[in-house]
Amino acid sequence: MEDLARQLLTVDQFYQWVVEQEHKFELVDGEPVMMAGANRRHDRIAANAIRVIGNHLQGHRCQPFTSDTYLRIPAGNLRQADMGIDCGRFEDTSLEASEPVLVLEILSPTTRMFDRNEKLEEYKTIPTLEYILLVDPDFPQARLYRRDADRDWTSDRVTGLTAVVEMRQLGLALSLGDLYFGLGFRPRPTLVEPPDTPASKFTIWFSQRR
Protein backbone atom coordinates (compact mmCIF):
# COMPACT_ATOMS: atom_id res chain seq x y z
CA MET A 1 0.00 0.00 0.00
CA GLU A 2 2.88 2.41 0.67
CA ASP A 3 4.21 1.89 -2.84
CA LEU A 4 0.73 2.45 -4.26
CA ALA A 5 0.37 5.67 -2.31
CA ARG A 6 3.38 7.13 -4.13
CA GLN A 7 1.84 6.78 -7.59
CA LEU A 8 -1.52 6.92 -9.32
CA LEU A 9 -2.61 3.65 -10.89
CA THR A 10 -4.01 3.08 -14.33
CA VAL A 11 -6.98 0.75 -14.71
CA ASP A 12 -4.73 -2.04 -16.00
CA GLN A 13 -2.27 -1.60 -13.11
CA PHE A 14 -5.12 -1.68 -10.61
CA TYR A 15 -6.54 -4.89 -12.08
CA GLN A 16 -3.14 -6.58 -11.91
CA TRP A 17 -2.81 -5.57 -8.26
CA VAL A 18 -6.36 -6.17 -7.00
CA VAL A 19 -6.59 -9.83 -8.04
CA GLU A 20 -3.97 -10.62 -5.39
CA GLN A 21 -5.79 -8.86 -2.54
CA GLU A 22 -7.96 -10.51 0.09
CA HIS A 23 -10.30 -7.53 0.49
CA LYS A 24 -12.39 -5.60 -2.00
CA PHE A 25 -11.12 -2.32 -3.41
CA GLU A 26 -12.40 0.34 -5.79
CA LEU A 27 -10.17 2.60 -7.88
CA VAL A 28 -10.86 6.25 -7.03
CA ASP A 29 -8.84 9.06 -8.60
CA GLY A 30 -6.04 6.60 -9.31
CA GLU A 31 -5.85 5.20 -5.77
CA PRO A 32 -7.17 1.90 -4.32
CA VAL A 33 -9.92 2.44 -1.71
CA MET A 34 -10.97 -0.49 0.48
CA MET A 35 -14.67 -1.31 0.51
CA ALA A 36 -16.59 -1.66 3.77
CA GLY A 37 -18.14 -5.00 4.66
CA ALA A 38 -21.90 -5.61 4.65
CA ASN A 39 -24.17 -6.98 7.38
CA ARG A 40 -26.46 -9.98 6.94
CA ARG A 41 -29.53 -7.87 6.19
CA HIS A 42 -27.71 -6.06 3.41
CA ASP A 43 -26.47 -9.40 2.08
CA ARG A 44 -29.95 -10.96 2.16
CA ILE A 45 -31.41 -8.17 0.00
CA ALA A 46 -28.56 -8.51 -2.49
CA ALA A 47 -29.03 -12.30 -2.63
CA ASN A 48 -32.80 -11.90 -3.15
CA ALA A 49 -32.21 -9.43 -5.98
CA ILE A 50 -29.75 -11.73 -7.73
CA ARG A 51 -32.08 -14.72 -7.33
CA VAL A 52 -35.25 -12.97 -8.57
CA ILE A 53 -33.60 -11.07 -11.41
CA GLY A 54 -31.49 -14.08 -12.39
CA ASN A 55 -34.59 -16.27 -12.67
CA HIS A 56 -36.28 -13.63 -14.82
CA LEU A 57 -33.28 -13.36 -17.15
CA GLN A 58 -32.73 -17.11 -17.59
CA GLY A 59 -32.01 -17.70 -21.27
CA HIS A 60 -31.71 -13.95 -21.92
CA ARG A 61 -28.54 -12.38 -23.33
CA CYS A 62 -28.55 -9.94 -20.39
CA GLN A 63 -27.37 -11.50 -17.13
CA PRO A 64 -26.97 -10.36 -13.50
CA PHE A 65 -23.58 -9.72 -11.94
CA THR A 66 -22.48 -9.49 -8.31
CA SER A 67 -20.43 -7.01 -6.30
CA ASP A 68 -17.25 -8.70 -7.52
CA THR A 69 -17.73 -7.14 -10.97
CA TYR A 70 -16.39 -3.66 -11.66
CA LEU A 71 -18.13 -0.77 -13.38
CA ARG A 72 -15.86 1.51 -15.37
CA ILE A 73 -16.73 5.19 -14.89
CA PRO A 74 -15.85 7.29 -17.98
CA ALA A 75 -13.82 9.71 -15.83
CA GLY A 76 -11.52 6.85 -14.81
CA ASN A 77 -12.83 5.39 -11.54
CA LEU A 78 -13.76 1.74 -11.06
CA ARG A 79 -16.80 1.11 -8.88
CA GLN A 80 -18.55 -1.96 -7.48
CA ALA A 81 -22.33 -2.04 -7.03
CA ASP A 82 -24.22 -4.56 -4.90
CA MET A 83 -25.50 -6.16 -8.10
CA GLY A 84 -26.41 -5.25 -11.64
CA ILE A 85 -27.30 -6.45 -15.13
CA ASP A 86 -24.85 -6.67 -18.01
CA CYS A 87 -26.12 -6.98 -21.58
CA GLY A 88 -22.72 -7.04 -23.23
CA ARG A 89 -20.26 -9.67 -24.30
CA PHE A 90 -19.26 -12.12 -21.56
CA GLU A 91 -15.56 -12.81 -21.14
CA ASP A 92 -14.37 -15.40 -18.64
CA THR A 93 -11.32 -13.50 -17.43
CA SER A 94 -12.73 -9.97 -17.45
CA LEU A 95 -13.20 -8.15 -14.14
CA GLU A 96 -15.75 -5.60 -15.37
CA ALA A 97 -19.19 -5.43 -16.93
CA SER A 98 -18.93 -4.71 -20.64
CA GLU A 99 -22.42 -3.21 -21.17
CA PRO A 100 -24.12 -2.56 -17.82
CA VAL A 101 -27.77 -1.52 -18.07
CA LEU A 102 -28.78 -1.69 -14.39
CA VAL A 103 -26.95 -1.12 -11.12
CA LEU A 104 -28.53 -1.75 -7.73
CA GLU A 105 -27.15 -0.22 -4.54
CA ILE A 106 -28.37 -1.10 -1.05
CA LEU A 107 -27.92 1.95 1.15
CA SER A 108 -26.05 1.64 4.44
CA PRO A 109 -25.48 4.03 7.38
CA THR A 110 -21.82 4.56 6.46
CA THR A 111 -22.27 5.11 2.70
CA ARG A 112 -25.89 6.33 2.38
CA MET A 113 -25.12 9.97 1.57
CA PHE A 114 -22.23 9.07 -0.74
CA ASP A 115 -24.33 6.53 -2.66
CA ARG A 116 -27.13 9.07 -3.09
CA ASN A 117 -24.83 11.80 -4.33
CA GLU A 118 -21.28 11.29 -5.64
CA LYS A 119 -21.60 7.63 -6.60
CA LEU A 120 -25.03 8.17 -8.14
CA GLU A 121 -23.68 10.99 -10.32
CA GLU A 122 -20.78 8.79 -11.42
CA TYR A 123 -23.18 6.00 -12.41
CA LYS A 124 -25.22 8.44 -14.48
CA THR A 125 -22.22 9.05 -16.74
CA ILE A 126 -22.02 5.38 -17.85
CA PRO A 127 -23.41 5.59 -21.40
CA THR A 128 -25.04 2.12 -21.52
CA LEU A 129 -26.77 2.44 -18.15
CA GLU A 130 -30.58 2.65 -18.26
CA TYR A 131 -31.54 2.09 -14.62
CA ILE A 132 -30.11 2.83 -11.17
CA LEU A 133 -32.00 1.37 -8.21
CA LEU A 134 -31.24 2.60 -4.66
CA VAL A 135 -32.75 0.32 -2.01
CA ASP A 136 -33.40 1.23 1.63
CA PRO A 137 -32.41 -1.77 3.80
CA ASP A 138 -34.47 -0.71 6.83
CA PHE A 139 -37.87 0.10 5.30
CA PRO A 140 -39.62 -1.27 2.18
CA GLN A 141 -38.83 1.57 -0.17
CA ALA A 142 -36.58 2.25 -3.14
CA ARG A 143 -35.87 4.96 -5.69
CA LEU A 144 -35.50 4.07 -9.36
CA TYR A 145 -33.57 6.37 -11.69
CA ARG A 146 -34.26 5.81 -15.38
CA ARG A 147 -33.34 7.42 -18.68
CA ASP A 148 -36.18 9.03 -20.63
CA ALA A 149 -36.53 9.30 -24.41
CA ASP A 150 -34.07 12.21 -24.45
CA ARG A 151 -31.51 10.22 -22.40
CA ASP A 152 -32.08 12.48 -19.40
CA TRP A 153 -32.44 10.95 -15.94
CA THR A 154 -35.76 10.94 -14.06
CA SER A 155 -36.62 9.15 -10.82
CA ASP A 156 -39.58 7.59 -9.02
CA ARG A 157 -39.93 6.51 -5.39
CA VAL A 158 -41.73 3.24 -4.66
CA THR A 159 -42.85 2.19 -1.19
CA GLY A 160 -44.51 -0.81 0.43
CA LEU A 161 -44.06 -4.55 0.04
CA THR A 162 -46.77 -4.70 -2.63
CA ALA A 163 -45.07 -2.02 -4.75
CA VAL A 164 -43.41 -3.01 -8.02
CA VAL A 165 -40.37 -1.47 -9.70
CA GLU A 166 -41.03 -1.42 -13.45
CA MET A 167 -38.06 -1.69 -15.81
CA ARG A 168 -39.84 -2.09 -19.12
CA GLN A 169 -36.74 -2.04 -21.29
CA LEU A 170 -35.72 -5.27 -19.56
CA GLY A 171 -39.27 -6.61 -19.35
CA LEU A 172 -38.74 -6.71 -15.59
CA ALA A 173 -41.24 -6.00 -12.81
CA LEU A 174 -39.40 -6.32 -9.50
CA SER A 175 -41.64 -6.66 -6.45
CA LEU A 176 -40.35 -5.09 -3.24
CA GLY A 177 -41.89 -8.04 -1.44
CA ASP A 178 -39.51 -10.35 -3.33
CA LEU A 179 -36.59 -8.01 -2.70
CA TYR A 180 -37.15 -8.07 1.09
CA PHE A 181 -38.19 -11.73 1.28
CA GLY A 182 -37.34 -13.28 4.66
CA LEU A 183 -36.86 -9.94 6.44
CA GLY A 184 -38.93 -8.11 9.04
CA PHE A 185 -39.15 -4.38 9.67
CA ARG A 186 -38.94 -2.37 12.84
CA PRO A 187 -41.60 0.33 13.40
CA ARG A 188 -40.73 3.77 12.12
CA PRO A 189 -39.80 6.20 14.91
CA THR A 190 -42.48 8.77 15.74
CA LEU A 191 -41.94 12.19 17.27
CA VAL A 192 -43.99 12.59 20.43
CA GLU A 193 -43.90 15.87 22.37
CA PRO A 194 -43.49 15.30 26.12
CA PRO A 195 -46.29 16.82 28.20
CA ASP A 196 -43.89 18.95 30.24
CA THR A 197 -42.24 20.85 27.36
CA PRO A 198 -41.98 24.64 27.77
CA ALA A 199 -44.80 25.09 25.25
CA SER A 200 -47.11 22.87 27.29
CA LYS A 201 -46.19 24.67 30.51
CA PHE A 202 -46.94 28.01 28.87
CA THR A 203 -50.36 26.78 27.74
CA ILE A 204 -51.24 25.65 31.29
CA TRP A 205 -49.94 28.88 32.82
CA PHE A 206 -51.85 31.03 30.32
CA SER A 207 -55.14 29.20 30.91
CA GLN A 208 -54.72 29.58 34.68
CA ARG A 209 -54.12 33.33 34.32
CA ARG A 210 -57.39 33.63 32.45
Higher per-residue pLDDT: 111 or 197: 111
pLDDT tens digits, 190-201: 655 555 555 444
Strand order in the sheet with 100-106: 63-66, 83-86, 100-106, 131-135, 141-147, 153-159
8 A C-beta contact, residue 5 and residue 31: yes
Phi-psi region of 80 (alpha: psi -120 to 50; beta: other; left: phi over 0): beta
Query: Does the pLDDT at position 12 exceed 90?
Result: yes
Query: Does the pLDDT at position 21 exceed 70?
Result: yes
Query: Does the pLDDT at position 52 exceed 90?
Result: yes
pLDDT tens digits, 168-193: 999 999 999 999 999 999 876 665 55
Buried b (16+ CB within 10 A) or exposed e, 75-88: eebbbbbbbbbbbb
Give the helix, strand, coil percentages of the chain, each rounded to 5.
30, 25, 45
pLDDT at 113: 59
Where does the pLDDT of residue 99 fall: very low under 50, low under 70, confident under 90, or very high at 90 and above? very high
8 A C-beta contact, residue 104 and residue 133: yes
Query: How do strand 172-175 and strand 164-167 relate by DSSP bridges?
Result: antiparallel
CA dist 31 and 33 (Å) reads 6
- % the chain with pLDDT above 70: 82
- Three state DSSP letters for 11-79: HHHHHHHHCCCCCCEEEECCEEEECCCCCHHHHHHHHHHHHHHHHHCCCCCCEEEECCCEEECCCCCEE
8 A C-beta contact, residue 101 and residue 131: yes
Average pLDDT over the chain, rounded to an integer: 87
pLDDT at 203: 40
pLDDT tens digits, 129-158: 999 999 999 999 999 999 999 999 999 999
**SS3 call for 121:** helix
The domain segmentation of the chain, as residue ranges, is: 1-35, 38-184
CATH T-level fold of 38-184: tt1808, chain A (3.90.1570)
CA dist 207 and 137 (Å) reads 47
